[in-house]
Structure 1
Amino acid sequence: MKNSDLQARFNAIRSNKIFELFVVSIIIFSALVIGAKTYNLPPYLQSTINVLDVGITLFFLIEIFVRFFGEENKKNFFKSGWNLFDTLIVIISLIPVSDTEMALVGRLIRIFRVLRMISIIPELRLLLNSLLKALPQLGYVMLLMFIIFYIYAAVGSTFFLNINPELWGNISISMLTLFRVMTFEDWTDVMYETMAVYPLSWAYYLSFIFFTTFAFLNMIIGIVVNVLEEERQKERREEEALENAGQPTLEDIQQELVEIKQLLKKQSGQ
């Protein structure tokens, strides 16, 4: 069998939707196996889970080989960060560390195998890539949010220290208290406690909630959604470019018409 035929078969396997669904199901099953290891199980069940773990690792190794040999240009396989991540996770999972000091590291690596679902499902890759590309814009929003947190924490520590030192003892503890307020975790208890001494302190909490929960968090969501839409449009343009590849453009058609006219003029002149 020629290498091109073998590569075409591997490419057909890895592009098959049934194969992709089967890989996703194995990843989910792997997550369940990892979760089962956290329970106190009888020895025979523990041995069965260990055998299943080895089988899952071997399957992932075969799946990596299928994806690698299905790539027309083998160098392109290693240009993808997701392929490198998957390969690294599988290779490290093959190292026997159960009876060594690296057993904890081995378990952690097996936990990260669940992240392989992101590399398999395109929609998850799109979400993660959008989030990563939104980080520069999110950084400025987070910086502004930190400034608001710092100012309100300093004010709260100044006025409410004598009311409850456990919540307003210093600026770092005050920031943790404000995070509790922002997430609405029993924040009214904190507010009513200070209102007993400062009746107008409700304005402090409501203004803080408005700036953080309502304003900044909505800004973060808006930025992520905007970047996500841009990534989707970029993918659509790339797909359209691939579909239109090889088809004549308007400029090509106009150039051909000009050449045909010149040819007809030459023939009529003769």
Structure 2
Amino acid sequence: MKNTIIFRMQRRLKEVDSSKWFQGVVIAVIILSALLVGAKTHNLPAQAIVVLAALDVAVTVFFVVELTIRFLAYRKKPEFFKNGWNIFDTIIVIGSLIPSGGSGVLIARLLRVFRVLRLVSMVPELRLLINALIKAIPRMGYIALLMFVIFYIYAAIGSIVFKDINDVLWGDVSISMLTLFRVATFEDWTDVMYETMAVYPISWIYYLTFIFLTAFIFLNMMVGTILEVMSEEHENFRVESHGESREGGEPASRAQIEALHDEIAELKALIKQNTR
């Protein structure tokens, strides 16, 4: 009987946690939390500060309750911490419990700023984007390494050839790399080019080849890598959401599958109770 009650409570909590109205309330509270952080940066009267402090406490209490509901909705509690987003939310909520007075006032304020990031964990589409960016980092690392090699080669050439023209821009390799970053981002790069062309008329080849390699090839390779990973993440999200295989098949609702699992667990509990 006790197990049956626990299973029913877990099912009810999971229904509340996954309901659209509850998710909407959580998102609204996160936005309110962001507005509170912004409001505290202004010079406000004492009464307004008291009201904001009360709202901040209410938001913190709500986050604790919401996280507790989500934790209790799990049948196997250790599985809650296998989800990286749950760990992230837990850290943010625990950080919000740090008192904002005394020596920890700066840390408390900074941690309350990060509460806005909970919006990422609540919106599936934002989670999808973050997961895609994280998974794309290893692939982009090789492209970034190749870009660094190209930057270094061109910076060394620029420092050797153009140092006498402008020591501020081409004094050494590190300064030359900063100058090339300015060229790659098209920040008044023509001024730099015309200055060197006054001494070396064919130096435009140096700039155009560098821009072609960095801005047109390598950056587009990075964009293509991110798009490829995002496409894979969208496919995985579709499969997980509808409970279907990658080869296709009859789709099934994730909520229906979880409800079926809960019913099976309740039946097992009843059978064990009756056999005793």
TM-score, normalising length: structure 1: 0.85
- Which one of the candidate residues 13, 17, 30 is aligned to 1:27? 30
Which residue of structure 1 aligns with residue 99 of structure 2?
96
Deviation at 1:216, TM superposition (A): 0.4
Counterpart in the other structure of 2:244: 240
The equivalences for 1:133-212 within 5 A come to 133-212=135-214
Cα distance in structure 2, aligned partners of 1:118 and 1:61: 17
Relative distance call for 1:169 and 1:46 in structure 2 (3 A) is: farther
* 1:48 maps onto 2:48 in alignment: no
Gaps of 5+ in 2: 246-250, 258-276
> Kindly, what percent of the aligned residue pairs are identical?
54
Alpha-carbon deviations, 1:158-183, whole Å to 9, x = none?
Answer: 11212222211111111111111111
Alpha-carbon displacement from aligned partner over 1:98-134 (angstroms, at most 9, x marks no partner): 221x222211111111111111111111111111111
- Is 2:139 the partner of 1:130? no
CA offset at residue 225 of structure 1?
Answer: 0.6
1:173 counterpart SS class? helix
Quote the Cα distance in structure 1 between the aligned partners of 2:98 and 2:150.
Answer: 48
Tell me what 1:73 maps to: 76
Q: Give CA-to-partner distance per residue, 1:62-94, whole Å, 9 cap, x none.
A: 110111112222221111111111111111211
Which residue matches 2:115?
113
Letter in 2 for 1:114: V
SS at match of 1:243: coil
Matches within 5 A, 1:219-230: 219-230=221-232
In 2, Cα distance between equivalents of 1:210 and 1:89: 43
SS of 1:221's equivalent in the other structure is helix
Q: Which amino acid aligns with 1:9?
A: R
Tell me by how many angstroms 1:44 deviates.
2.5
TM-score, scaled to structure 2: 0.83
Residue 260 of structure 2 corresponds to which residue in structure 1? Answer: none
Deviation track 1:185-204 (CA, whole Å, cap 9, x = no partner) reads: 11112112222222211111
Coordinate RMSD, CA, aligned? 2.1
Runs of 4+ displaced beyond 4 Å? 244-247
Bigger radius of gyration, 1 or 2? 1
C-alpha distance in structure 2 between counterparts of 1:183 and 1:17, whole Å: 43
Displacement of 1:228 after TM fit? 1.1
Distance 2:168 2:50 in 1: 49
- Residue type of the partner of 1:13? V
Structure 1: distance between partners of 2:32 and 2:192:
44
Separation in 2, partners of 1:139, 1:43: 51
